């Protein structure tokens, strides 16, 4: 509760939390607010916003409800972003812990693998992976995680290298604790806060990457996504700019919300670490 109070005292953290909470609620309530398939034909094509009470944000070129697309797109973007970030964090923590705790040849080998993944931009790696394997939500999640795990791995390794030399870790070795027990009970809890702060940035990057893949036609075609909505509006940008502007603004607000949430989380975890 103390951490939550400190987080809410941070203006950027509070604003980010409000934005993300609104998006989560919108995504959860999407089947209630806009029931049925968001990709179905709902009315006349290119109906402008606020011209029909039943379709408040209008329709696209095929007559699909723009509001339904935005709401269901929130579910898709948040689910893909969180799942990809979680996968990247788990892989990065495992690799970073193994490299930092084992040291020597294991450390050198794992860090060279991380270097190899960091050389290639994450989006290009995801693009190549999805183009090769095929388009589906699990493939998109794995492709995004594949391009982002190296940063948490390096940060975890740096934290582990610092923590493993501290007195309480040496004391744990002296009393005969198993190396795995030392790693997961003594080192990991203290190495975790900076990595958790990084996770919000990974979520934002994952949401942008998913939108970019959908924009290029490499997202799941059976799901409403903000990237595909932006791409859909390109051909009528002059006459119906709202088709690209609305999902674009929603995407921008989401990324800003995640960034602000990350800033607040970094301050709280940083001050908590400093107090210890």
Domain residue limits, the chain? 10-275
pLDDT in tens, 146-190: 989 999 999 999 999 888 888 888 888 888 888 778 888 888 888
How many CA atoms within 13 Å lie on the side-chain side of 72? Answer: 22
Closest to 193 measured CA to CA, from 251, 106, 104, 262: 262
* Cα–Cα separations (whole angstroms), residue 18 to 14, 75, 201: 6, 17, 17
How many residues are given for the chain? 276
What pLDDT, on the 0 to 100 scale, is given for residue 272?
59
Give the 3-state secondary structure of residue 223. coil
Predicted confidence at residue 136, as pLDDT, reads 87
Beta-bridged to residue 64, according to DSSP, are 41
Q: What is the 3-state secondary structure (H, E, C) of 72-89?
A: HHHHHHHHHHHHHHHHHH
- Quickly state the pLDDT bin for 110 (edges 50, 70, 90): very high
**Is 210 in contact with 219 (CB distance < 8 Å)?**
yes
Per-residue pLDDT at 274: 44
pLDDT of residue 50: 92
Q: Is the pLDDT of residue 191 over 90?
A: no
- Distances 99 to 180, 184, 189, 255 between C-alpha atoms, Å: 13, 14, 17, 32
Instruction: Classify residue 185 by its DSSP letter.
Output: I
Q: Rounded to whole angstroms, what are the CA distances from 258 to 13, 84, 170, 173, 265? A: 9, 15, 38, 40, 10
- Report how far residue 197's alpha carbon sits from residue 7's, in angstroms, rounded to the nearest whole number: 12
pLDDT tens-digit series, residues 220-258: 888 899 999 999 899 898 889 999 999 999 999 999 999
CB 34 within 8 A of CB 71: yes
The model's confidence at residue 1, banded by pLDDT at 50, 70 and 90, is: low
Distances (CA, A) of 20 to 30, 85, 224, 269: 15, 16, 19, 19
Residue 275 has a pLDDT of 45
Rounding to the nearest 10 degrees, give the CA dihedral for residues 221, 223, 227, 231.
Answer: 50
The pTM for the full model equals 0.85
Q: Tokens standing for 55?
A: 């379709």
- Once rounded to an integer, what is the mean pLDDT over residues 80-92? 92
CATH architecture of the domain covering 10-275 = Orthogonal Bundle (1.10)
Give dist(CA 208, CA 119) in Å, integer. Answer: 20
Whether the predicted pLDDT of 19 surpasses 60: yes
């Amino acid at each position: 509760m103390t951490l939550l109070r400190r987080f809410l005292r941070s203006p950027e953290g509070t604003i980010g939390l409000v934005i993300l909470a609104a998006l989560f609620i919108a995504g959860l309530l999407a089947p209630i607010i806009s029931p049925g398939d968001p990709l179905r034909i709902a009315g006349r094509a290119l109906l402008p916003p606020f011209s029909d009470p039943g379709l408040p944000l209008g329709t696209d070129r095929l007559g699909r409800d723009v509001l339904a697309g935005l709401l269901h797109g929130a579910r898709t973007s948040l689910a893909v972003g969180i799942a990809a970030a979680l996968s990247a964090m788990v892989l990065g923590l495992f690799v970073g812990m193994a490299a930092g705790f084992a040291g020597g040849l294991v450390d050198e080998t794992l860090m060279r693998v991380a270097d190899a993944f960091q050389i290639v931009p994450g989006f290009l790696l995801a693009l190549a992976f999805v183009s090769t394997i095929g388009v589906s939500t699990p493939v998109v999640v794995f492709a995004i995680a594949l391009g982002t795990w190296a940063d948490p791995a390096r940060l975890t390794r740096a934290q582990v290298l610092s923590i493993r030399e501290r007195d309480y870790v040496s004391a744990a070795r002296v009393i005969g604790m198993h190396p795995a027990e030392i790693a997961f009970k003594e080192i990991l809890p203290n190495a975790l806060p900076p990595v958790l702060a990084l996770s919000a940035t990974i979520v934002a990057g994952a949401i942008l990457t998913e939108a970019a893949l959908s924009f290029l036609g490499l997202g799941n075609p059976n799901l409403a996504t903000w990237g595909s909505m932006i791409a859909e509006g390109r051909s009528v940008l002059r006459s119906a700019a709202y088709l690209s502007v609305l999902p674009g603004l929603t995407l921008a607000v989401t990324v800003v919300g995640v960034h602000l949430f990350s800033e607040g989380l970094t301050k709280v975890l940083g001050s908590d670490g400093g107090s210890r």
